[in-house]
Amino acid sequence: MEYNKKKRETRSAMGFKDLLYYLYGRRLLASVGKGPLPQHIGLILDGNRRYARAKNLPALIDGHKRGAEKLDEVLKWCEDLDIRTVTIWVFSTENQQRAPDEVDELMEVIEAKIDQMARNPLTRERRMRIRAVGQIANLPPRLQETIRKAEEATRKHDRFFLNIAVAYGGRQEIADAFKKLLAEKQRLNVPLETIAASISPEEISRHMYTYDVPDPDLIIRTSGEVRLSGFLLWQSAYSEFYFCDVNWPAFRKIDFLRAIRSYQQRDRRFGQ
């Protein structure tokens, strides 16, 4: 009898907590709907392994699988606010230094997620274009082929844009941009002195991985780490940053809306 009473009290407390969460979420949504919204959000999906450890999941890779599932929710939240460009960082060049078995498992999760999104009818309904950015040639052949098929299948989509940063490093992107710029000038037989004199930030930007999308207005990092770790170094010069303590698989809509609200409270001067 006493056990059943405690169980009912626990359920009642949980129900009250859920109600408060719902009401708070509604209030946040109404609040952010009145302010300026970012057009491009960058997401550093951090804390998958820590989540797996905290939840005592069977394996660390299960944290990444939960994180892959979370992405569907977050993209829906962005769509609801008409935020049409999202860049997610799923695998860095430094991540390649992890244990080979862990890297292989993570590659499989990324491959499965990209394939699932490319085949999902919602991707067509949203007219979401999928593109991978990074050193794609360094990825396993199967993943490269999955990326190629996803990009081709969504190439004509023009309403929602998802950039997936994989085998990505911000410094490497800048180095690659300079390589492309110099190679282009070399093909045109432009003298080195002329190249050096004519290089500008605008010309370098034209050779970045994300050359054809606006720079991110807001970058969100989960897991409590307060640094960019090289994410979109060039593009984030005037971005606003929001660091969230919760691990990526546990990222909630109220966490997302708090990030938007924080963005709206900033005075963006762009160096002026």
Catalytic positions = 46, 95
State the helix-helix crossing angle for 253-264 and 2-32, rounded to 10 degrees: 30
How far is Cα 131 from Cα 150, in angstroms, rounded to an integer? 8
Number of C-beta neighbours around residue 157 at 10 A: 16
| Token pair recorded at residue 80 | 């609801």
DSSP 241-255: EEE-SS-GGG--HHH
Residue 183: exposure state from Cβ atoms within 10 A (0-12, 13-18, ≥19):
exposed
Integer CA distances (angstroms), 132 to 52, 114, 137, 144, 249, in order: 26, 10, 11, 10, 21
DSSP 138-194: GS-HHHHHHHHHHHHHTTT--SEEEEEEEEE-HHHHHHHHHHHHHHHHHHTT--HHH
Q: Cβ(215)–Cβ(236) under 8 Å?
A: yes
